[in-house]
């Protein structure tokens, strides 16, 4: 294992400096933004932010760029932006830690995802060339794909973790230049329905993975997650489950991040930015959206990560959203005496840089964060003091309550079906006994039909009982979440009188 910060062959650029750390001036850097050679990139600049971003002399120019020929003849905007620069002493105040994060839903389902192996190789090559500090991947369903990535990235990212859960797996993994000190996996209590085989989310063991890292004395809690997909926005049967997941995610982050200095969350949240689940998550944890906060953005318009330009996306699903939708996020917050600023956010734009195919059906999200120590603690955790939070929790609770009603109805229906199947079986048993006892023997006994009916009833009984048990569990979890939200609401309502 090669310690971070040490030059190593096969890895295009290494960050020099003892703990593999970048110290920059307090003012964030930028370079001249050119259009990517892959084309199709929409670029825009956040109003009011640009004038402050003056490139300090010597910034943004990589010392050595190996592997560039694979991308094209000259360093593109991509390269300027993604290339780490030399550590420098702070120009004012405390030194700044610059962290480059890559997040991607890889869509690597064995036998199902198109050109999976080629894409995974491409992802590996890019990650090795770009040498991010932290890579958060979702939908790496095959452990073999992870192992191959691990071998390929061992030089640049000596530390990694694959989160195992569920039948298929969580699909979540993390690659890091910095040591992973600890980890924990939390599997969401609800994740769709086992009988929705065509969607398959239930089998995936959707979870949130946490890895703890200490970079230059700063404790990072890094979360990676993937929530239940949305298959029909107009009539989203999975909304209550996704809201339970968003709630559990928020609660898990709140409870596990109390000793962290900085919290990072990357993942495919399967929610649009204005959806109640995102507002709940952000409101209840105080996490900030890197896209909304970025001083400079480059990529798909509105930060979309599921776009019609991507050849793997289902165009019919995106018909109501001609620009695409934004469902992949990098969120962050500083908890103790630190501030985090998003210097830059980028997305891929329908294809991987320099090649003809995309990494995945999702676009990659890349953030450059600046983390700086403050003179005094930043104060209480954000989010919980937001006066609008009570409204968001109320809204989410109403959706969970609607899901609870539906789950109760389904529990009742499946229970009734099981009872009917049992009654049919008992009736058949009585008829069979009567025949054996010689009653009604004047007519021939229809053995075949009888057997078929009995097996049918037995099958229905088993299935309906299984469903009943499943919906019983669903009711419990929805009810539990509704209860927790109610307690939070009560606390939020009591707070003003206390203060």
User: What positions carry a catalytic annotation?
Assistant: 362
Q: Which stretch binds its own copies (CB under 8 A): 8-16, 146-154, 340-348, 450-458?
A: 450-458
DSSP states of 84-140 = -------SSSS-EEEEEEEEEEEEE-TTTSTTHHHHHHHHHHHHHHH--SEEEEEEE
By the rule CB under 8 A, 205 interacts with its own copies: yes
DSSP label at residue 14 = -
Residue 426 or 451: the one with the smaller Cβ distance to its own copies is 451
Residue 49 or 180: the one with the smaller Cβ distance to its own copies is 180
By the rule CB under 8 A, 255 interacts with its own copies: yes
By the rule CB under 8 A, 415 interacts with its own copies: no
Long-range contacts at 112-117 (CB < 8 A, ≥ 24 apart): 114/312, 115/357, 116/145
- Residues 166-185 touching its own copies, rule: CB under 8 A, are 166-167, 169, 180-185
**Residue of 448, 496, 497, 498 interacting with its own copies (CB under 8 A):** 448
Q: Which stretch binds its own copies (CB under 8 A): 25-33, 66-74, 118-126, 444-452?
A: 444-452
- Residues 468-487 touching its own copies, rule: CB under 8 A, are 469-470, 472-473, 476-477, 479-480, 483-484, 487
**Residue of 445, 455, 493, 495 interacting with its own copies (CB under 8 A):** 455
CB of 163 to its own copies, least distance (A): 7
Residue 23 or 203: the one with the smaller Cβ distance to its own copies is 203
Q: What mask of x and - would describe binding to its own copies in positions 212 to 251, judged by CB under 8 A?
A: x--------------------------------------x
Residue 1 CB-density burial (10 A; 0-12 exposed, 13-18 middle, 19+ buried) = exposed
DSSP states of 356-423 = SS-SSSSPPEEEEEEEEE-SS---SPSSTT-TTHHHHHHHHHHHHHHHHHHHHHHHHHHHHHHHHHHH
d(Cα 60, Cα 80) in Å, to the nearest integer? 6
Contact 266, 136 (CB under 8 A): yes
Residue 186 or 359: the one with the smaller Cβ distance to its own copies is 186
By the rule CB under 8 A, 378 interacts with its own copies: no
134: Cβ contacts below 8 Å, ≥ 6 apart:
99, 100, 101, 102, 174, 175, 176, 177, 178, 222, 264
Ranges assigned E (strand) in 143-261: 159-163, 172-176, 180-187, 207-215, 218-226
Q: Which stretch binds its own copies (CB under 8 A): 82-90, 121-129, 231-239, 465-473?
A: 465-473
By the rule CB under 8 A, 314 interacts with its own copies: no
479: Cβ contacts below 8 Å, ≥ 6 apart:
404
Interface with its own copies (CB under 8 A): 163-167, 169, 180-187, 189, 203, 205, 210, 212, 251-252, 254-256, 258-259, 447-448, 451-452, 455, 469-470, 472-473, 476-477, 479-480, 483-484, 487, 491
């Amino acid at each position: 294992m090669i310690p971070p910060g040490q030059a190593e062959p096969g890895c295009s650029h290494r960050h020099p400096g003892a703990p593999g750390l970048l110290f920059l001036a307090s003012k964030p850097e930028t370079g001249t933004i050119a259009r990517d050679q892959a084309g199709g990139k929409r670029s825009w600049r956040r109003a009011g932010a640009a004038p402050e971003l003056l490139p300090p002399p010597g910034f943004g120019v990589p010392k050595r760029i190996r592997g560039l020929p694979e991308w094209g003849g000259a360093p593109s905007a991509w390269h300027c932006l993604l290339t780490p620069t030399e550590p420098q002493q702070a120009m004012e105040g405390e030194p700044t830690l610059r962290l480059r994060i890559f997040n991607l839903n890889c869509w690597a389902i064995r036998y199902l995802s198109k050109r999976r192996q080629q894409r995974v190789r491409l992802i590996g090559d890019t990650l090795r060339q770009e040498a991010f500090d932290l890579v958060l991947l979702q939908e790496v369903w095959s452990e073999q794909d992870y192992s191959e990535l691990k071998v390929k990235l061992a030089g640049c990212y000596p530390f990694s973790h694959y989160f195992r859960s569920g039948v298929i797996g969580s699909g979540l993994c993390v690659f890091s230049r910095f040591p992973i000190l600890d980890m924990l996996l939390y599997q969401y209590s609800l994740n769709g329905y086992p009988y929705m085989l065509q969607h398959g989310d239930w089998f995936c063991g959707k979870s949130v993975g946490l890895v703890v890292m200490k970079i230059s004395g700063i404790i990072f809690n890094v979360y990676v997650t993937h929530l239940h997909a949305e298959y029909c926005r107009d009539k989203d049967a999975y909304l209550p489950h996704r809201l339970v997941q968003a709630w559990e995610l928020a609660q898990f982050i709140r409870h596990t991040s109390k000793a962290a200095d900085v919290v990072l969350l990357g993942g495919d949240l399967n929610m649009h930015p204005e959806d109640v689940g995102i507002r709940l998550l952000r409101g209840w944890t105080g996490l900030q959206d890197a896209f909304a906060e970025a001083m400079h953005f480059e990529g798909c318009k509105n930060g979309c990560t599921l776009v019609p330009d991507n050849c793997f996306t289902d165009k019919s699903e995106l018909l109501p959203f001609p620009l695409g939708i934004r469902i992949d996020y990098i969120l962050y917050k500083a908890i103790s005496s630190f501030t985090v600023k998003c210097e830059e956010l980028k997305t891929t734009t329908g294809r991987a840089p320099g090649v003809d195919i995309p990494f995945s059906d999702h676009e990659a999200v890349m953030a450059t964060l600046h983390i700086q120590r403050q003179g005094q603690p930043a104060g209480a955790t954000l989010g919980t003091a937001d006066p609008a939070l009570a409204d968001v929790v109320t809204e989410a609770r109403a959706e969970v309550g609607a899901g609870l009603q539906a789950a109760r109805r389904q529990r009742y229906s499946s229970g009734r079906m099981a009872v009917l199947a049992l009654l049919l079986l008992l009736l058949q048993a009585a008829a069979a006994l009567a025949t054996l006892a010689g009653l009604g023997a004047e007519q021939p006994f229809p053995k075949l039909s009888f057997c078929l009916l009995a097996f049918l009833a037995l099958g229905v009984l088993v299935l309906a009982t299984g469903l009943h048990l499943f919906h019983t569990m669903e009711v419990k979890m929805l009810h539990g979440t509704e209860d927790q939200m109610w307690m939070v609401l009560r606390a939020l309502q009591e707070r003003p009188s206390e203060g």
